[in-house]
Structure 1
């Protein structure tokens, strides 16, 4: 009995020992599957064809995937790809940003697709040859022909085809840009809705991206402060968020006296606003803006409202302390300006045309400071692209502000401010259309005469 027990014990131990050894030795199928990521059926077929030779099986799988990827990419290339990701890769003196599109948001969250975005961005920054140019843009064709950072015998188009074969959707290398900076410049990047993926940690990815470079004027700013400001600055530009002006005034500009601003503004070729010691250049106004304001002014002038003066577009508005000086789209006053007067402190109506890029600033900072002006009774905000208006009225007794909204056909009253005047957006737009058509006909007649 003792021998029998020992015999059983020995065999059981040997069996367990052999099982442990077997479990610690992964099969060629599991190795190939883990290494390539291809399906079990494809990996099994490859191993059977090459007698469990993992290297040969892997090479065969890649060749087959490439062929299938190109075939599928050709079939899917006509399908719309409106989703995707922005990828940004930076180093000490340059940055690359790419946009890669796919068909659905589901694929945009796929690890294979995210690896492609990272691969393309890294390939772009590695393959740049001319660092003398500040910005180099790449279209779809230019991106597709760049060699892969991992295998220079393959192009990014080949890598994209592999991804198409894997995710089963149309994938497009939409565009890319290289940003090079000089020694005295600082580079910042930001991705909104950033994706955290350990396999692509060298590349920042998100739905929206921004690259910003700027020069440091104040040498007392520390590197840590620069890094923080750069990140916030690029984020603010991307999201049009309001702290952008605060960042600039605290770290880039130094405050100037009001008299200095007034002297410089008279001679400047570009208009600037004065914000409590800091000046900011305004973008050039579009011709449609000026045309809209002229029609707006004409509609008010036709009503012949008593004691109302329509101020020119170049007349600025000054607030009480702290002093802010703004250029409105149009303003009305009960006071007559002198011939050499360029600033008014007593407007009764201010009209601002809103665009997507100015909306946040006008409706927040500008509106708050406008309402500190004692004489102001009404602010009219007009969205020409939406054909709607928002009007803030000041109550004469309580000085509280109330708000109303008006559509294209509504009459915007000027009663509280200047009498019995009113504005109708429909009339303004109709006049603009007539004037633009007239201009087109005049141009065509002039062109015919030249011919």
Structure 2
């Protein structure tokens, strides 16, 4: 009789325990995205403690990512994305590279570009604003890797984790950050357009432009800024230019922004548009993914101000 009661108690309890374990396993898989076998192993090793199991899984993934990153280091990365974002008086332009265009379209890779851009915006917010309407800060690859993210890890840690997940080499190449006075308007544009990731624009080409209103006119400076930034991305001017710069004989060879035919309306030049709206360009920056750089990105120790 006692034996029968023991068996009955066992049969009653066992399914409930198993259901609980299955539930924890499902929660852990959904939260982490790791495989069934890895999640099951993590729970068994930590007596079904979800927090400890999740921590162990992340450590294993990070170790695997660093291992893969080390093995793949040196493989050429000419594809990827340029990410650009504006947040009030801050702007960031970041290039993240990978080996193939296929990976550049992957959501995990796009998440990495977003994380890097957010880290740059946060970094810019903490920098002192030097005299002048705009402070421009350049970050090289190593400086980018050291930037902290909102979860406390460095961008290098996030990059290693992504490499471990995608199995392809990737690099953080460069960034430029703008910090402006309150009377400066920042605009961003990326091409091909239409790809936006949590308010961050992604493309193979991207740009930032800083504008200042010289005259009090009722204009849509947001739309104007976007159009002018689109012009910078499409026409690739090398400098703003001044009235003392002689326009090129062939308009296709023009490299001064103000003397170029306006991309949005080629019956005008950019300077005519600026005069019409009472606006001046304070600064701009354009990145093309994978472009050859005759001059590397200026390091953090080089901080420019525009007077």
Give the TM-score, by structure 1 length: 0.48
Residue aligning to 1:215: 212
CA distance in 2, matches of 1:77, 1:62: 22
Residue aligning to 2:179: 180
RMSD: 3.0
Change (3 A) 1:357 1:38: farther
Q: Alignment partner of 1:187: what SS?
A: strand
Matched, 1:59 2:63: no
CA distance in 1, matches of 2:248, 2:173: 39
Change (3 A) 1:196 1:53: farther
How far 1:195 moved relative to its partner? 5.4
Ranges of 4+ aligned residues in structure 1 off by more than 2 Å: 130-133, 194-197, 352-358
Q: Alignment partner of 1:96: what SS?
A: strand
Change (3 A) 1:354 1:90: closer
Residue aligning to 2:85: 89
Change (3 A) 1:271 1:195: closer
Which has the bigger relative contact order, CA under 8 A and spacing at least 6?
A: 2
How far 1:47 moved relative to its partner? 1.8
Ranges in structure 1 where 5+ consecutive residues have no aligned partner: 1-17, 242-269, 273-280, 284-326, 330-351, 367-451
Change (3 A) 1:93 1:210: same
Check the 8 A contact 1:147/1:155 in 2, yes or no. yes
CA distance in 2, matches of 1:213, 1:271: 16
Matched, 1:98 2:94: yes
CA distance in 1, matches of 2:195, 2:242: 43
What per-residue deviation string (whole Å, max 9, x for no partner) do you get for residues 256-296 of structure 1?
xxxxxxxxxxxxxx984xxxxxxxx646xxxxxxxxxxxxx
Residue aligning to 2:293: none
CA distance in 1, matches of 2:102, 2:54: 28
How far 1:361 moved relative to its partner? 4.1
Give the TM-score, by structure 2 length: 0.69
Q: Out of 113, 130, 138, which is 2:128 matched to?
A: 130
How far 1:97 moved relative to its partner? 1.4
Residue aligning to 1:238: 233
CA distance in 2, matches of 1:127, 1:157: 15
CA distance in 2, matches of 1:218, 1:118: 36
What are the within-5 Å matches in structure 2 for residues 407-422 of structure 1? none
Of structures 1 and 2, the larger Rg is shown by: 1
Matched, 1:68 2:64: yes
What are the within-5 Å matches in structure 2 for residues 167-206 of structure 1? 167-194=166-193, 196=195, 200-206=197-203
Count of paired positions: 238
Check the 8 A contact 1:194/1:207 in 2, yes or no. no
Check the 8 A contact 1:118/1:202 in 2, yes or no. no
Change (3 A) 1:356 1:173: farther
Residue aligning to 2:253: 355
How far 1:353 moved relative to its partner? 8.6
Q: Alignment partner of 1:134: what SS?
A: strand
How far 1:164 moved relative to its partner? 0.6
Check the 8 A contact 2:251/2:261 in 1, yes or no. no
Q: Out of 107, 112, 119, which is 1:111 matched to?
A: 107
How far 1:159 moved relative to its partner? 1.1
Check the 8 A contact 1:160/1:171 in 2, yes or no. yes
CA distance in 1, matches of 2:248, 2:109: 47
Change (3 A) 1:229 1:64: same
CA distance in 2, matches of 1:46, 1:271: 64
CA distance in 2, matches of 1:105, 1:328: 36
Residue aligning to 1:5: none
CA distance in 2, matches of 1:353, 1:234: 19
CA distance in 2, matches of 1:96, 1:195: 19
Q: Alignment partner of 1:79: what SS?
A: coil
How far 1:218 moved relative to its partner? 2.2
Matched, 1:145 2:165: no
What are the within-5 Å matches in structure 2 for residues 262-411 of structure 1? 272=243, 282=245, 329=249, 352=250, 355=253, 357=255, 361=261
